[in-house]
Each structure stands twice: as C-alpha cells, then as structure tokens.
Amino acid sequence: MTVTLETTETAPIPGFVEKTALERYVAPAKPSLVGLSRVALAEALGTVGVAPAQQKMRVQQLWHWIYVRGTQDFAEMTSVSKELRATLDAHFTLARPEMVAEQISVDGTRKWLLRLPGESQSGRAHEVECVYIPETGRGTLCLSSQVGCTLTCSFCHTGTQRLVRNLTPGEIVGQVMLARDRLGDFSSAASPSEGSRLVSNIVMMGMGEPLYNFEAVRDALLVVSDGDGLGLSRRRITLSTSGVVPMIQRAGDEIGVALAVSLHAVRDDLRNELVPLNRKYPIAVLMEACRNYPGLSNARRITFEYVMLKGVNDTLADAKELVRLLKGIPAKINLIPFNPWPGTHYECSDWDQIEKFSEVVFDAGYASPVRTPRGRDILAACGQLKSATEKMSARERLALRAMAMTD
C-alpha cells in the first residue's frame, strides 16, 4: 500500500509551498491489526477464513483483547479458539510502532522516539515523536500525524524538514497503544473507568498537519474514541490545525473532536509569513469556518493557539485585535511561549510582554493560560511539543509572584 498526500491544489499561490510526499510507506509482510476499524478488522478476518456469520462476534472479542487488555500476543486471547489464534498469529501481528528511545523528564514528561516502516529516499529512517505530559488529575498524550509536515510555517522546526509521509491509522493508534504499554495503563479488569487512566486526553499537536492526512486521522481517532476499546471521549481529544479550511467542517462532522486553530497573527500580511497556508485561506475565511464548526457552543469552545514571538506578533495592539477578531466565537486562547530551535531567527517574547498581552486577553473575558514548557530537561519537543501544556494564567503567575514577595 502506498500512502500519498491529499492535495486540494489548483493554481499555484505565490509564497505558498505545499510539500509533496517524498517517502513511501511499505506495509510490513505481516500487517498489524492495531488501528483497523471494526469493518476493516472483519475484512481481515474474512481473508483468513473466518466465516461472515462469525465475523462480528470475533471482532468484538479481538477488540476487547487489543484495546481494553492491550494484549500483544494472540496466544493470550483465551476466549478465542486455539485454532483461530494460531491462524491469526500466522498472518498478522499486534505490533505498535518501534520505540527507539525513551526519555523521562524530572517532571514526569516522557518522550518516545518511534521508528516507522517505509522506504526513505534520503536513507533516513521514518521517525516521529510522541510525548506524554502528566498533570494533576489527567495525562495528555501528544500524537504525530505525519513524518515531517506538508506545510512550512516559518517558526516551526517540523516545517523545515523535507521528509514527509502520512502516518497510517495503525501508526496513529499505535502511538496511544505504545504509551499505554509503557505507562502500564492497560487494564486487566474488564471495564475500567475513564477517569482512572493515565492517558486521559489526546492532542494532535505533534509532527504534521492532521487535516492534510484527514482520512487516516479520522479513522484513527474513531478507534481511539470507541467506547468499547481505548474509550477516550471525543471531548478529551483535540485536533490542532494550521487552518486547512475545507477540512474543518468535515473534521467536526466526521470526527467530532475539539478543535484548536493555530492563529499566531491577527493580520493577513503577518500570518502569510508565519503560516503560509494563510495565502490560500486568509484569516476572514478561517474565522468563518470556525464560526460554522459543528457542535460549537460555550461548553465546546475552539482553542486559538498564539505563539509569542518577540517583536513580531506580541504588541498590545495585536492583543486587542485578537480579542476583536474572536468576538462572537466561543473561544479559548492559548498563548504559547516560542520554543527556539537551532537556526531559527525568531525569539520568544519577554515574559513581561507575555504577561501584558495576557492581561489584555484576560480583561476581555478570556482565561488566558500561558503554556509552560514541560520536560525542558529532555527537550520534549517535536519542534513544538515542549510547549504543551501545563496551564497557568499570567495573572495567576503574577498573583503567585506577589505572594512570594509579600511572604
């Protein structure tokens, strides 16, 4: 199977570069069942002789072993006949992406480097990163959707990488499986409660633009949110996009997860530079798509991400314009301190400026969490992952600082 990038390209747009797939996915000789939809799993069973009348029941059994128990060996599936277990073992695996490195930060953040199958023109292995961020009462897993990224945002390290290939649904779901394996987060009990899981939230904020790999991301997230399996509620899954407007409506209709939009600038001239996709889908068009996001309400707000770049997008006039722009859209604003990488000419805004910016946003009625970098000691980043996600508003920080000074 060859995975190609979806493009919606017509005429070239000056200043907007869309990378084409440079790398090829080559399915392993023995494919993994991880990440298949129920329908695809039934089809796979059909290919090894499971009669149609049996398929639904067998899928149900396998689903439980794979996604609730986290079983990695067909031999452990005691409710499945011995004969079928042997047949499955002969034709399939339950493999997850191969973990080539694990780093654990003093703050508990974990970063895994994962190697994926495929043919690389550059001779480099296909690798993505996946990061787990534990917080009080919850744990967030940051997933990648592509090796590299189709797009070229000027402040993003992933955007500079040539290597691009879309991840398959199995490789996306496989990141969740691997995290649960490593964290001991699979249950031996038949029906674990959602709240007891270490991986309780998912953000599609790793490498890649998820809406340029729409079908695979959709299929993967539907597996991840299946209530009889991994069981993460869609409200606990956030998909972050740089603004692939034509796919935003479909994301709401077909996946139904929370949306985050990487805004980063409030004027088209600047956003064209930072997020060149803006040349194709300018701010007004993006905002219109946001207003129409299915299921949008005060209880289900869109998160607008805004990376703080010193002297670029961080004036108080920018903050005021940001508030004006979002008027009428149920929104949250996440201010992200820029995470520098070797070779970038951007710098992170000064902390005082971030606080002032945050004050304007706060005074307009938005909680304005500033994302504190996590896992600094292990550089828990896919270029950007570092900035996810311990939240504390600048005002809270000010209050804490004031308290510290008066004590």
| Interface with ligand SAH in residues 19-78 (CB under 6 A) | none
Q: What is the closest distance, in whole angstroms, from the C-beta atom of residue 217 to ligand SAH in the complex? A: 11
* 166 touches ligand SAH by CB under 6 A: no
User: Which of 362, 356, 383, 2 is closest to 155 using CA atoms?
Assistant: 383
Which one among 166, 303, 387, 389 touches ligand SAH, defined by CB under 6 A?
387
Q: Whose Cβ is closer to ligand SAH: residue 230's or residue 308's?
A: 308
Binding string, residues 308-347; x marks residues near ligand SAH by CB under 6 A: ----------------------------x-xx--------
Asked if residue 172 lies in contact with residue 186, where contact means CB atoms within 8 angstroms, the answer is no
Cα–Cα distance for residue pair 260/264, rounded to 1 Å? 12
Cα–Cα distance for residue pair 195/185, rounded to 1 Å? 12
- Contact of residue 313 among ligand SF4, ligand SAH, none (CB under 5-8 Å per partner type): none
Q: What is the closest distance, in whole angstroms, from the C-beta atom of residue 170 to ligand SAH in the complex? A: 20
Cα–Cα distance for residue pair 105/111, rounded to 1 Å? 8
- Contact of residue 35 among ligand SF4, ligand SAH, none (CB under 5-8 Å per partner type): none
Residue with tokens 């703050």: 107
- Contact of residue 305 among ligand SAH, ligand SF4, none (CB under 5-8 Å per partner type): ligand SAH
Asked if residue 217 lies in contact with residue 248, where contact means CB atoms within 8 angstroms, the answer is no
Residue nearest to ligand SAH (CB): 384
Q: Is 347 a catalytic residue?
A: no
- Strand 237-241 relative to strand 138-142, pairing: unpaired
- CA distances for 281 relative to 205, 327, 370, angstroms: 20, 20, 27
Asked if residue 294 lies in contact with residue 252, where contact means CB atoms within 8 angstroms, the answer is yes
369-405: burial string, b at 16+ Cβ within 10 Å, e else:
bbbbbbbeebebbbbbbbbbbbeebbbbbeeeeeeee
- Contact of residue 283 among ligand SAH, ligand SF4, none (CB under 5-8 Å per partner type): none
- Run of H or E residues at 99: strand 98-104
How many other CB atoms sit within 10 Å of the CB of residue 316?
12
Q: What is the closest distance, in whole angstroms, from the C-beta atom of residue 38 to ligand SF4 in the complex? A: 30
Phi, psi of 75 (to 5 degrees): -60, -25
* 248 touches ligand SAH by CB under 6 A: no
Q: What is the closest distance, in whole angstroms, from the C-beta atom of residue 390 to ligand SAH in the complex? A: 14
Catalytic annotation, pick one of 156, 348, 382, 390 = 382
Reduce the DSSP state of residue 91 to 3 states and report it.
helix
Q: Whose Cβ is closer to ligand SF4: residue 186's or residue 306's?
A: 306
Which one among 175, 225, 238, 241 touches ligand SAH, defined by CB under 6 A?
241
Q: What is the closest distance, in whole angstroms, from the C-beta atom of residue 334 to ligand SF4 in the complex? A: 14
Catalytic annotation, pick one of 129, 305, 355, 390 = 129
Stretch that binds ligand SAH, among 178-186, 240-248, 313-321, 322-330 (CB under 6 A): 240-248
* 383 touches ligand SAH by CB under 6 A: yes
Cα R_g (the chain), whole angstroms: 22
* 205 touches ligand SAH by CB under 6 A: yes
Q: Is 156 a catalytic residue?
A: no
Cα–Cα distance for residue pair 333/318, rounded to 1 Å? 13
Count of residues in contact with ligand SAH, rule CB under 6 A? 18
- Rule CB under 6 A: which residues touch ligand SAH? 153, 155-157, 205, 209, 240-242, 262, 305, 307, 336, 338-339, 383-384, 387
Residues with a catalytic annotation lie at 129, 382
